[in-house]
Structure 1
Amino acid sequence: MTGTERRSRLRGPQRRAKIVQAALEVLAAAGYHATGMGAIATAAGVTRSVLYDHFPNKRVLLLAVLQEQNAALIEHVGGRITGTGSPEERMRATVDAYFSFAESRPAARKLLFDRTDEDDVEIQTVRWGIRESRTRAVAALLADDLRRMGVDPDSPAAEAMVELLITGLDGMAQWWARRPETPRAELVAAAMRLLWDGLGPRR
């Protein structure tokens, strides 16, 4: 069976998923401006005409990739936030889940947080919308914990706290990408030392 025959046997959703995965890898590695639709088609193992059957242009493809990867991140982390255990145990599980996402899906983390080289106003607007929806989603998942702290989950303070949590953890993930020899457990312990114990002296 030839490669063309194998491609023809893929169903539409399977082919679309293959294109999205290829676009994720190529866009994360090269950036938006340096990536052409031809390179994405080649990486996905499809023709340009098949690619355009699914996505009319690069902007639409990028937005689809961003939205799908953001949903995957929230799903990956959300189960730990609302899981069983004490608040501290759930926080530790959540921190570990974020680092496991960064470790297992580095292209997704990079495209969501690092790659902002687009100068398209619509893309920038959608990026901010995705960021705000992610913050609201995490704040909703943390609602009970926030209330126990005396913070209204719908307040600006809650959103600011969630932003600090997300950007702080991603900053550590970026540091980790430069020092991959650091064990994930050590990174989780360091994050918990700051997030849970604070900067004061340990009791």
Structure 2
Amino acid sequence: MTAIEDTRPRGTRLPRLARRQQLLGAAQEVFVAQGYHAAAMDDIAERAGVSKPVLYQHFPGKLELYLALLDQHCEALVQAVRDALASTTDNKKRVEATMTAYFQFVDNAGGAFRLVFESDLTNEEAVRERVERATNACAEAVSEVIAEDTGLPRDEAMLLAVGLTGMAHVTARYWLATKGSIPRDAAAQLVANLAWRGIAGFPRKDDTPR
């Protein structure tokens, strides 16, 4: 593994919150490039352009730094799904917006999705709990819409929601890994069409039978 080039200016004093965000940004680059186990606090401090004591002033250890970064991106994914669902009352467009949210999340230039979906630290309970919580929160947000519109019991709506969100994140990761000829938005639309043809088979509870 080649060393990560230090591009950060040294000696710059920043407000505490700004420094924290700078350190998280540097940590993300190192963790994405090297994985948790191969990354070292020295690498992160060097990448951020600070001394290691400065890094430890903000984060007591590598795990705490990793968890703070994971929290940030798990929350971003959940919020993106909630925003997609709230962006329209048209359910077909809701499906499209939700699929697009996942594809945009994995296509982020910083590779944050790797910390959420491809972490090499899933044997750590704190990491596993955060990822599961974020995954369930996304599915729960979708299930609430399904239950409200179809009148299905909560457990059935949740099962369908897990299927839809699972389809979204697996296909988005496959698309990114293959990087074929399909543009991102077209790929998201293609998967959304498949998902909509399935979920649209469940009639709305206020539909009047013919």
Q: TM-score, normalised on structure 1?
A: 0.82
Greater Cα shift, 144-153 or 102-111 = 144-153
Match of 1:53 among 45, 50, 57: 57
What is the distance in 1 between the residues matched to 2:88 and 2:100? 15
* Number of residue equivalences: 191
Q: Conserved in 1, the CA contact under 8 Å of 2:138 and 2:165?
A: no
Q: Conserved in 2, the CA contact under 8 Å of 1:80 and 1:90?
A: yes
Higher helix share: 1
What is the distance in 2 between the residues matched to 1:105 and 1:165? 25
2:82 partner letter = G
What is the distance in 2 between the residues matched to 1:105 and 1:150? 40
Q: CA deviation at 1:192?
A: 1.8
Aligned partner of 2:141 in structure 1 is 140
State the Cα deviation string for residues 148-201 of structure 1 (Å, max 9, x = none): 223334x3x4443333222321211221122324212321222123211139xx
Q: TM-score, normalised on structure 2?
A: 0.80
Which residues of structure 2 form unaligned runs of 5+?
1-7, 200-210
Q: Conserved in 1, the CA contact under 8 Å of 2:30 and 2:39?
A: yes
What is the distance in 1 between the residues matched to 2:168 and 2:30? 25
Greater Cα shift, 178-187 or 47-56 = 178-187
SS at match of 2:38: coil
Q: CA deviation at 1:70?
A: 0.5
Aligned partner of 1:197 in structure 2 is 197
Greater Cα shift, 14-23 or 184-193 = 184-193
SS at match of 1:196: helix
| Percentage of pairs with the same residue | 29
- Is the alpha carbon distance of 1:28 and 1:152 closer, same or farther for their aligned partners in structure 2, counting shifts above 3 Å? farther
Greater Cα shift, 157-166 or 57-66 = 157-166
Aligned partner of 2:175 in structure 1 is 176
Q: CA deviation at 1:29?
A: 2.0
Aligned partner of 2:24 in structure 1 is 20
1:44-193 correspondence runs (5 A): 44-105=48-109, 107-117=111-121, 119=123, 123-140=124-141, 142-153=143-154, 155=155, 157-180=156-179, 181-193=181-193
What is the distance in 1 between the residues matched to 2:165 and 2:19? 32
2:151 partner letter = G
RMSD across aligned positions (CA): 2.4
Q: CA deviation at 1:92?
A: 0.6
Q: Conserved in 1, the CA contact under 8 Å of 2:100 and 2:189?
A: no
